[in-house]
Amino acid sequence: MPIALTMTGGIDLARILMEEFRRRQIIVPGITSLERMVSKALLDAERNVGNLLTGSLTSVQCGLLDSLLLQHNAGRISILAWIRQPPGRPGRRAFAEILERLSTLRAIGLEPVLLIAWLMPIVTLGLALLLLGIVIALGRTAWPRWFAALANPVSLVAIGMLIARILPEPAHTWLDGAAFNLGWLVVYAVSTALLWNGGRSPVASRDEAA
């Protein structure tokens, strides 16, 4: 189950399962039995994720989620398909449609569920960036030490917000919610320029120097 939760492809899971059989010196079953084991593991993992996301929902919220499958304004598409559609060309009408779709989703009250789904990836990414900044500051990478002041979560958001703020309309409205992505764009551009010719030589640790 833990391994099945980290992947969606049956081939990779079957390969890992066969390696585990060989490690434990267990006779590998036939292809049909192997397919059933992999399919059951993937199905159990999918149900586990589904229960994690929907276990805290109330009956009212479940009913509102089911209502997303109804037709939208007597049209040919469902409400869910309407929400997923792009709003169209930037303008007052598109902005009004975005607000209407947001109000439809907020009425369901899925904020706690979305928090569960996104909190761990965001926290993991933030910790990884902090560790990367520490390693860069210690001089253990090909980046210069000052690059640590740029490659950290606070700088990424600050740079992205600054870029979106100084841009003229309509670019400001388009990119106002993409501060983190804009920050990454700047970091990648600076990183490419610094490492284009190989970068600096990392500082050797005490054990390596000895």
- CA–CA distance from 179 to each of 55, 94, 128 (Å)? 33, 21, 19
Q: 155 is in which domain, residue-wise? A: 111-209
Give the pLDDT score at 111: 62
Give the pLDDT score at 110: 64
Residue type, 89: R
Which residue in 10, 81, 83 sits closest to 45, CA to CA?
A: 10
User: Do 120 and 189 belong together in one domain?
Assistant: yes
User: Do 198 and 137 belong together in one domain?
Assistant: yes
**Helix, coil or strand: residue 78:** strand
> CA angle, corner 189, sides to 187 and 195, nearest 5?
95
| Helix spans in 55-142 (H) | 59-67, 79-84, 92-106, 111-137
User: Do 176 and 125 belong together in one domain?
Assistant: yes
Rounded distance between C-alpha atoms, residue 15 and residue 167, angstroms? 50
Place of tokens 């979560």: 153
Final residue of a domain: which of 33, 54, 75? 54
Give the pLDDT score at 117: 59
Question: Above 60 in pLDDT, residue 79?
Answer: yes
User: Do 9 and 64 belong together in one domain?
Assistant: no
User: Do 144 and 189 belong together in one domain?
Assistant: yes
User: Do 8 and 74 belong together in one domain?
Assistant: no
pLDDT tens for 24-71 read 888 877 878 878 887 888 777 777 777 777 777 777 777 777 777 777
User: Do 34 and 95 belong together in one domain?
Assistant: no
User: Do 102 and 115 belong together in one domain?
Assistant: no
pTM, two decimal places:
0.45
Give the pLDDT score at 7: 66
User: Do 135 and 198 belong together in one domain?
Assistant: yes
**Helix, coil or strand: residue 71:** strand
What is the domain count for the chain? 3
Residue 157: which pLDDT band, with cuts at 50, 70 and 90? confident
Give the pLDDT score at 91: 65
> How much is the mean pLDDT over the chain?
77
By the 10 Å C-beta count (0-12 exposed, 13-18 middle, 19+ buried), 143 is classed as: buried
Asked whether 107 and 164 are in contact (CB, 8 A), the reply is no
- 36's tokens: 């059933």
Asked whether 109 and 61 are in contact (CB, 8 A), the reply is yes
User: Do 129 and 40 belong together in one domain?
Assistant: no
User: Do 205 and 116 belong together in one domain?
Assistant: yes
In terms of pLDDT, which residue wins out, 161 or 85? 161
pLDDT tens for 91-131 read 667 777 777 777 777 777 666 656 665 667 778 888 888 88
